C-alpha cells in the first residue's frame, strides 16, 4: 500500500508535464509571522522575509537580520511528508540600501523537490535622492528632494526542480526522465513599496519577471518541452492603526495577486490578515485567511545583550485537503 501511494503521488507530481496544472513554485507563504497573517505581507514587509514577499521592503530593516524557518505541511496526511525550509539574511547599508540572500527548499516525500537561491537588493529611493538647501531668512535649512517614502527592490533567483525516481523502477524507465530529472534557471522579481502617510502603505510586486523553463522531457511533437515559471503580479495595502488599549502597533493588511501560467487561465489569489503586539512590543498575536486556508499564530521577542531574538509560530488549516492537522510553521529571527 505504501508503494502504491508513492507511485500515485509521483504520478500526481508528474501531471504538470502532460497537463497545464502549473503547481511549480506556487508556495509563497514561508515565514511563520506572515503565514499567521494569511500571507498578507507585501505592503508590510518590514523584516528580512520581505525578500520573499516584496524585496522593496527589505530597506525597512534597521539592523542585520537573519531568519530560519521550517514548515511541516499537511501534518498527519498518511504516507506523505511535505516540508519547507527557509534561511534568510539581510544587511542594511546606510547610504546604498540593503542587500540580502535567501535559500528556500521544499520537499514532497523525497520524490519531488524545489529550491530557490536568491540575491536581493532594496533601495530607499526618497533617501538616495538626497536633500536640497533652502534659505529661510538668514538661515539655511536642508529639505529632502523627495518627501514621499518610496522603496524599490529586486530579486535575482536561481530556481531548480528535481524529480527523484530512484525508488521507483517504473518512473525510472519513463521516457520523460530519459534526458533529465532536474530543470530550472534564472528568474527575477521586482517590487515597490510606497507610504503615502505614516499609517498607510501600498505595494506592487511582479514575480518571475524573468522566467526560466521548468519543463523536462519532450512535447507531443518530439521537441523539448517548454513551461516557464508563471509570472505573478500582486498589489497590497496595509494600514497601521497604532496603539489603543492593550493593543500595540496594530496593523491590518490585504494582498491580491494574479498568477498567469502560460496557455492557461489566470489564477487570482487574495490574502487578508492582522497583527498586534502587547506588553511593550514583547508578545504578538496574529490572524489571517486567504482563498486556500485559515491561519493564526503568535510570537515573542527576547533581548539578550545587544541581540534581539524573535520566535514566531503559525498554524494554518487548509480548506481543500482533509485527513490532516494542517500546516505548522516555526521561525526564529535574530537582529544584531
CATH code, domain with 182: 2.40.160.40
pLDDT (average), residues 48-66: 97
Model confidence at 4, pLDDT cuts 50, 70, 90, reads very low
Q: How far is CA 167 from the centre of its chain?
A: 31
Cell of 16: 504538470
Quote the mean pLDDT of the chain: 86
Residue 323 — φ and ψ, nearest 5°? Answer: 60, 35
The three-class DSSP label of residue 3 is helix
Report d(CA 245, CA 155) in Å as an integer. 39
- Mean predicted confidence (pLDDT) in 50-78: 94
Number of domains in the chain: 1
Rounded distance between C-alpha atoms, residue 227 and residue 130, angstroms: 44
pLDDT of residue 320: 82
123-127 mean pLDDT: 93
Which pLDDT band, with edges at 50, 70 and 90, does 223 fall under? low
Q: Which helix (H) or strand (E) holds 51?
A: helix 50-53
Q: Which residues share a beta bridge with 97?
A: 93
Phi, psi (5° rounding) for residue 271? -145, 135
Among 4-8, 260-264, 302-306, name the one with the lowest average pLDDT. Answer: 4-8
Q: What is the pLDDT of residue 260?
A: 86
- Is the pLDDT reported for residue 52 higher than 90? yes
Asked whether the predicted pLDDT for residue 155 surpasses 70, the reply is: yes
Residue 321, pLDDT score: 78
- Residue 125 has a pLDDT of 94
Q: Which of 88, 153, 82 is nearest to 117 (CA)?
A: 88
First to last CA, the chain: 50
Domain of 185? 2-335
CA distance 328 to 336: 27
On the 0-12 / 13-18 / 19+ scale of CB atoms within 10 A, 143 is exposed
> Cα–Cα distance between 203 and 271 in angstroms, integer?
14
pLDDT at 141: 80
Write out pLDDT tens, residues 5-40.
Answer: 444 344 444 444 433 445 567 767 789 999 999 999
Give one DSSP letter per residue of 175-236, joined into a string.
GGGSS-SEEEEEEEEEEEEE-SSSSEEEEEEEEEEE--B---SB-TTSSBP--BPPEEEEEE
pLDDT (average), residues 60-70? 97
User: Is it the case that residue 176 has pLDDT exceeding 90?
Assistant: no
Amino acid at each position: 500500500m505504501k508503494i502504491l501511494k508513492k507511485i500515485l503521488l509521483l504520478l500526481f507530481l508528474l501531471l504538470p508535464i502532460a497537463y497545464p496544472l502549473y503547481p511549480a513554485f506556487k508556495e509563497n507563504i514561508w515565514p511563520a509571522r506572515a503565514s499567521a497573517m494569511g500571507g498578507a505581507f507585501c505592503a508590510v514587509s518590514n523584516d528580512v522575509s520581505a525578500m520573499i514577499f516584496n524585496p522593496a521592503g527589505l530597506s525597512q530593516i534597521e539592523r542585520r537580520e537573519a531568519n530560519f524557518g521550517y514548515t511541516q505541511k499537511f501534518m498527519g496526511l498518511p504516507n506523505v511528508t511535505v516540508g519547507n525550509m527557509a534561511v534568510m539574511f539581510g544587511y542594511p547599508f546606510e547610504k546604498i540600501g540593503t542587500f540580502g540572500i535567501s535559500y528556500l527548499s521544499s520537499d514532497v516525500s523525497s520524490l519531488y523537490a524545489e529550491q530557490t537561491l536568491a540575491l536581493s537588493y532594496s533601495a530607499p529611493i526618497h533617501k538616495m535622492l538626497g536633500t536640497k538647501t533652502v534659505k529661510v531668512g538668514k538661515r539655511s535649512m536642508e529639505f529632502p528632494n523627495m518627501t514621499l517614502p518610496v522603496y524599490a527592490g529586486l530579486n535575482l533567483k536561481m530556481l531548480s526542480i528535481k524529480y527523484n525516481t530512484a525508488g521507483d523502477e517504473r518512473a525510472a524507465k519513463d521516457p520523460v526522465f530519459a534526458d533529465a530529472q532536474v530543470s530550472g534557471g534564472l528568474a527575477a522579481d521586482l517590487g515597490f513599496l510606497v507610504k503615502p502617510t505614516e499609517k498607510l502603505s501600498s505595494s506592487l510586486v511582479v514575480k518571475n519577471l524573468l522566467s526560466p523553463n521548468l519543463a523536462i522531457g519532450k512535447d507531443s511533437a518530439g521537441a523539448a518541452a517548454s513551461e516557464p515559471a508563471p509570472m505573478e503580479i500582486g498589489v497590497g495595502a496595509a494600514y497601521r492603526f497604532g496603539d489603543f488599549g492593550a493593543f500595540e502597533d496594530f496593523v491590518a493588511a490585504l494582498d491580491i495577486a494574479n498568477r498567469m501560467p502560460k496557455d492557461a487561465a489566470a489564477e487570482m489569489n487574495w490574502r487578508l490578515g492582522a497583527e498586534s503586539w502587547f506588553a511593550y512590543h514583547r508578545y504578538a498575536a496574529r490572524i489571517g485567511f486567504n482563498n486556500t486556508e485559515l491561519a493564526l499564530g503568535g510570537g515573542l521577542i527576547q533581548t539578550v545583550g545587544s541581540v534581539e531574538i524573535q520566535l514566531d509560530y503559525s498554524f494554518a488549516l487548509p480548506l481543500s485537503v482533509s485527513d490532516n492537522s494542517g500546516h505548522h510553521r516555526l521561525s526564529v529571527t535574530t537582529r544584531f
